[in-house]
Amino acid sequence: MYLEIRDLKKSYGDGSSRAQVLRGVTTSVERGSVCAILGPSGSGKSTLLNCVGALETADSGSIRVDGAELCGMKKDGLAEYRREKLGFVFQFYNLVPNLTVWENVQVCEYLSKHPLPMEELLDTLGMTEHRKKFPSQLSGGQQQRCAIARAVVKNPELLLCDEPTGALDSASSREILILLERINRTYGTTILLVTHNAAIRQMANKVLTIRDGVIVDETENASPVPAAELEDL
């Protein structure tokens, strides 16, 4: 199993203000699959994603990625994990405003020992004609495409997506999901996708539903629906 999470717990604050966000999450995800994580606001979805992405430190439990234990790993090891194994797509893009599309992607290309070819990737994501534009000259969907290119250029084994369609209209959302599906199939990238949109669950191989910091439903999808055929996005 590529990703294994066991009894993961995470809280914030101290004393009377202490709030436990993850209350013992246990699950696993196969290499090369798409896993959708659903649940209401405050359920712990993004916290779980951030722990897997080594942006947050869990209080206790275990996270193993490709056999390597993240919990208790030293800072240098976590930095190498984020650099070599991980791509992260945020809801609000986080692009550098004074860099072009090409330059925004190139920043992350430099971090990898085995990056994907930039020209090929931008062509795959439909961004070749926009390569010299700045983020302010792009639509929301185009900015998200650029953010995806930046995350994927490192050729990561694991791609974490936090509400990648949350700020987009239905047409742009469909385009982004089709691109993520293409990345999964073309490069064999394992994808964890946090979303509020229940329709997206249909395209995933596995669906986790989190409520109040615990997994309340875990479903395997033997026949995922192609992203282009999803309804009610």
Listing DSSP states for 102-145 in one string gives HHHHHHHHTT-SSPPPHHHHHHHTT-GGGTT--GGGS-HHHHHH
56-73 mean pLDDT: 96
* Number of domains, the chain: 1
Cross-strand pairs, 65:
3, 68
What is the rounded distance in angstroms from the CA atom of residue 147 to the CA atom of residue 145?
5
pLDDT at position 214, please? 96
Coil, helix or strand at residue 6: strand
Domain with 209 in it: 3-229
Q: pLDDT digits over 127-154, tens only?
A: 999 999 999 999 998 998 999 999 999 9
85-98 mean pLDDT: 90
Contact 126, 91 (CB under 8 A): no
pLDDT at position 114, please? 85
186-201 mean pLDDT: 93
Return all residues near 39 (Cβ < 8 A) that are at least 6 apart.
45, 209, 210, 211
pLDDT at position 233, please? 79
Coil, helix or strand at residue 170: helix
pLDDT at position 17, please? 84
CATH number, domain containing residue 164: 3.40.50.300
Cross-strand pairs, 206:
35, 220
Q: Does residue 64 or residue 196 have the better pLDDT? A: 64
pLDDT at position 89, please? 92
pLDDT at position 94, please? 86
**pLDDT at 167 exceeding the cut of 90:** no
